[in-house]
């Protein structure tokens, strides 16, 4: 019989901040010209992280890269299977995608289906020079051939567990990453 | 979030406030798709949407067709003049044939009130009422609500003045139901022959004098005088109607600053609406048209993209 779920904190505020700082350094060393980069966050967790990355890059380089927000609901492959009504949130790509290096940001990478949808969505806006993927947590269990370029932490999980990244932007008291265990 | 309760969209009268909000919020997110370079998303790939118009229409039919195509659905249009309806085929036979070809959504406009409900209760396809006689025109009311909400941020406690032939207007009926549900105040204006007796029982106010009504309105919705519907005995002449009820620049001077002028189209210029007002700064008539596509995309998404009313998943 399933026990009540137990929460484990696997990343705290400081570790999340260091992860983002690491992303900024890696992006900067891969693409020294911040004008060639645009950061695109997947609604809603990835969108918050993308906003943070953009302001961190601005603080470090004095140049604010383009920021985009993507809702992938219209590109999902499982809408007809959902019991609840999916809510379509805003998509806002206020810059020319063609020729840019797009750093796609999400909080948790799991099956890869969300990223697949996001790739299709971005390509509908133009032909980027490259798309890179940054995720705070890679929890494995991929169903599609998708691999992140910038990773905060890789963990191995089972599908009955849930991994969530809590952020202050969502009204949480502090940033942290939680894994819910059923043991 | 809960999906829409009914498999069909037949009218505003039986929608809940939550359902209206869901449709408007979804529509708001769809506005952006139409502003892209590539105005298309793959969401309804493989769905078949049939636009079946028993009455002439430009805006509504094209708006539904564009909405379907921007969602990658296959849209098929047909009208009575080019179909077997002109050979005497009955409505139910025609739509059963459409369903036999695996239609997912049938958008229907018909001159008989209740036509959409009639086929909706007999078919598995989702039905969207694009206007049934003088009964309802729900997508028009939804795009009106979206357009007002965009400008004024809310529908709560605003005053909407609806001017024209209320008795014969499906737009007016759907608008009245919608605005009242969303907490707006509604004033109706027109010659007494155009205002149904006891309409106040719906919760609206009636004012026969347009000059008295205009200063109280945040939104002035001018209805089209339906010259094709032959009720000439109800008004002495179009000229006389215009004298008392045409929205002219002189009358607009009585309006609140920032009041919005709307019209469901097509406009009879110089009858209910002076061209200088139709094309003037108060007019948001073309915003209504733009938002019409977003509202219809939202409805197609919410109805065709969802599991059936029986709880079974929609066929992929």
Mean per-residue pLDDT, B137-149: 98
**pLDDT at A176 (0 to 100):** 95
Averaged pLDDT for residues B129-157: 97
Is residue A15 in some structural domain? yes
Give this prediction's pTM.
0.89
pLDDT reported for residue B40: 92
Give the pLDDT band (50/70/90) at residue A5.
Answer: low
At residue A49's C-alpha, the angle toward residues A43 and A53, to 5°, is 135
Task: List, for residues A46-93, the tens digit of each pLDDT value.
Answer: 999 999 999 999 999 999 999 999 999 999 887 777 777 888 899 999
pLDDT, average across residues B22-27 = 96
Rounded to a whole number, what is the distance in Å from the CA of A163 to chain B's nearest CA?
A: 22
Q: Is residue A101 part of a domain?
A: yes
CA distances from B110 to A137, B50, B122 (A): 55, 14, 16
CA A68 to chain centre: 12
pLDDT at B122 over 70: yes
| Structural domain range at position A10 | 5-76+90-182
Confidence of residue B130 (pLDDT cuts 50, 70, 90): very high
Question: What's the pLDDT at B235?
Answer: 87
Cβ contacts of residue A134 below 8 Å, gap of 6+? A23, A27, A49, A53, A103, A104, A105, A106, A148, A149, A150, A151
Contact A106/A115 with Cβ under 8 angstroms?
Answer: yes
Interface test with B, best of A83, A88, A113 (most B CBs within 10 A): A88
Tell me the C-alpha distance between B116 and B65, whole Å: 18
| DSSP H helices in A82-162 | 113-123
Tell whether the model's pLDDT for residue A32 goes beyond 90. yes
DSSP-assigned beta bridge partners for residue B265: none
pLDDT at B315: 41
Total length of chain B: 316
- The answer to whether residue A16 sits within a structural domain is yes
Report if residue A85 sits inside a domain: no
Cβ contact B238:B271 at 8 Å: yes
Where does the pLDDT of residue A4 fall: very low under 50, low under 70, confident under 90, or very high at 90 and above? low
Residue A156 maps to a domain? yes
Residue A30 lies in a domain: yes
CB of B38 less than 8 A from some CB of A = yes
Q: For residue B316, is pLDDT > 50?
A: no
Out of A110-124, A144-158, B297-311, which region has the weakest mean confidence (pLDDT)? B297-311
Sheet strands side by side (includes B219-222): B205-206, B185-189, B159-163, B219-222, B260-262
Contact predicate B301/B44, CB 8 Å? yes
Helix (H) or strand (E) holding A27: helix A13-30
Q: What is the pLDDT of residues B215-236, one digit of tens each?
A: 999 999 999 998 776 566 788 8
* CA pair distance B294, B24, nearest whole angstrom: 9
pLDDT for B314 beyond 80: no
Residue B141 CA to residue B175 CA, distance in Å, equals 5
CATH number at residue A67: 3.40.50.2020
Which chain A residues touch B25 with a CB distance below 8 Å?
87-88
Q: Burial letters for A101-112: b for 16+ Cβ neighbours within 10 Å, e otherwise?
A: bbbbbbbbbbbb
Partner residue opposite B32 with nearest CB, options A86, A87, A90: A90
CA distance B199 to B162: 13
pLDDT at residue B310, as a whole number:
42
Q: Give the residue-averaged pLDDT of B185-212.
A: 96
Output the average pLDDT for chain A.
92
Nearest to B29 among A71, A84, A120 (CB): A71
* pLDDT on residue B89: 86
Is residue A83 domain-resident?
A: no
Rounded CA-CA distance B90/A92 in Å is 47
What pLDDT is stored for residue B306 in this prediction? 65
Tell how strand B126-132 and strand B159-163 pair up: unpaired
Interface of A with B (CB under 8 A): 71, 74-75, 79-92, 120-121, 124-126
Does the pLDDT at position A152 exceed 70?
yes
Chain B residues whose beta carbon lies within 8 Å of the beta carbon of residue A124:
36, 38, 40-41
Distance from CA of A94 to the nearest CA of B (A): 10
CA pair distance A178, A171, nearest whole angstrom: 16
First and final C-alpha spacing in chain B: 22
How many structural domains is chain A composed of?
1
How far CA A24 is from CA of A34, A54, A130, in Å, comes to: 10, 9, 17
> A81 and B313 in contact by Cβ < 8 A?
yes
**DSSP codes joined into one string, chain B:** -PPPSSSSB--STT--HHHHHHHHHHHHHHGGGGGSSS----TTTT-EEEEEESS--SHHHHHHHHHHHHTT-EEEEEEGGGSGGGGT--HHHHHHHHHHTT-SEEEEEESSTTHHHHHHTT-SSEEEEEEETTTB-HHHHHHHHHHHHHHHS--TT-EEEEES--TT-HHHHHHHHHHHHTT-EEEEES-GGGS-TTGGGGT-EE-S-HHHHGGG-SEEEEPPP-GGG--GGGSS-HHHHHHHH-B-HHHHTTSPTT-EEE--S---BTTTB-HHHHTSTTB-HHHHHHHHHHHHHHHHHHHHTS--TTSPPPP-
* Burial group, residue A33, by CB count within 10 angstroms (0-12, 13-18, 19+): exposed
How do residues A93-143 score in pLDDT, each as one tens digit?
A: 999 999 999 999 999 999 999 999 999 999 999 999 999 999 999 999 999
The C-alpha of B151 sits at a distance from chain A's nearest C-alpha, in angstroms, of: 18
Cβ of B1 within 8 Å of Cβ of A84? The answer is yes
């Amino acid at each position: 019989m399933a026990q009540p779920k137990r929460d484990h904190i696997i990343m705290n505020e400081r570790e999340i901040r260091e992860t983002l700082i690491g992303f900024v350094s890696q992006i900067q060393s891969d693409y020294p010209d911040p004008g060639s980069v645009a950061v695109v966050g997947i609604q809603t967790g990835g969108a918050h992280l993308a906003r943070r990355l953009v302001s961190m890059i601005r603080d470090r380089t004095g140049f604010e890269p383009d920021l985009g927000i993507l809702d992938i609901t219209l590109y999902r492959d499982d809408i007809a299977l959902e019991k609840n009504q999916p809510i379509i949130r805003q998509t806002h790509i206020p810059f020319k995608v063609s020729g840019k290096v797009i750093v796609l940001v999400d909080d948790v990478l799991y099956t890869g289906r969300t990223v697949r949808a996001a790739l299709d969505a971005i390509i509908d806006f133009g032909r980027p020079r490259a798309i890179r993927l940054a995720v705070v947590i890679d929890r494995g269990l991929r169903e599609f051939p998708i691999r992140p370029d910038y990773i905060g932490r890789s963990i191995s999980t089972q599908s009955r567990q849930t991994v969530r990244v809590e952020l202050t932007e969502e009204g949480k008291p502090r940033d942290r990453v939680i894994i819910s265990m059923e043991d | 979030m809960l999906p829409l309760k009914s498999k069909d969209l037949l009218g505003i009268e039986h929608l809940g406030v939550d359902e209206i909000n869901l449709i408007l919020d979804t529509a708001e997110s769809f506005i952006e798709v139409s502003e892209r370079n590539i105005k298309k998303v793959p969401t309804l790939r493989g769905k078949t949407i049939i636009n079946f118009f028993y009455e002439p229409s430009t805006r509504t039919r094209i708006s539904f067709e564009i909405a379907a195509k921007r969602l990658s659905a296959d849209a098929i249009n047909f009208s009575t003049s080019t179909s077997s309806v002109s050979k005497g085929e009955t409505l139910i036979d025609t739509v059963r044939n459409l369903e036999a070809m695996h239609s997912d959504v049938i958008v229907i406009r018909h001159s008989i009130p209740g036509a959409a409900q009639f086929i909706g209760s007999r078919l598995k396809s989702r039905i969207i009422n694009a206007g049934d006689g003088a009964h309802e025109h729900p997508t028009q009311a939804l795009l009106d609500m979206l357009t007002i909400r965009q400008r004024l941020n809310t529908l709560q406690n605003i005053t909407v003045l609806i001017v024209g032939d209320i008795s014969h207007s499906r737009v007016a009926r759907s608008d009245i139901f919608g605005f009242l549900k969303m907490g707006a105040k509604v004033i109706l204006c027109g010659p007494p022959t155009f205002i149904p007796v006891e309409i106040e029982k719906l919760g609206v106010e009636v004012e026969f004098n347009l000059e008295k009504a205009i200063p109280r309105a945040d939104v002035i919705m001018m209805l089209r005088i339906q010259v094709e519907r032959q009720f000439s005995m109800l008004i002495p002449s179009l000229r006389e109607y215009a004298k008392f009820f045409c929205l002219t620049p002189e009358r607009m001077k009585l309006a609140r600053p920032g009041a919005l002028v709307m019209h469901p189209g097509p406009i009879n210029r110089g009858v209910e609406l002076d061209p200088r007002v139709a094309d003037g700064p108060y007019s948001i008539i073309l915003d209504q048209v733009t938002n019409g596509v977003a509202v219809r995309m939202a409805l197609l998404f919410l109805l065709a993209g969802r599991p059936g009313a029986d709880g079974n998943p929609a066929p992929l």
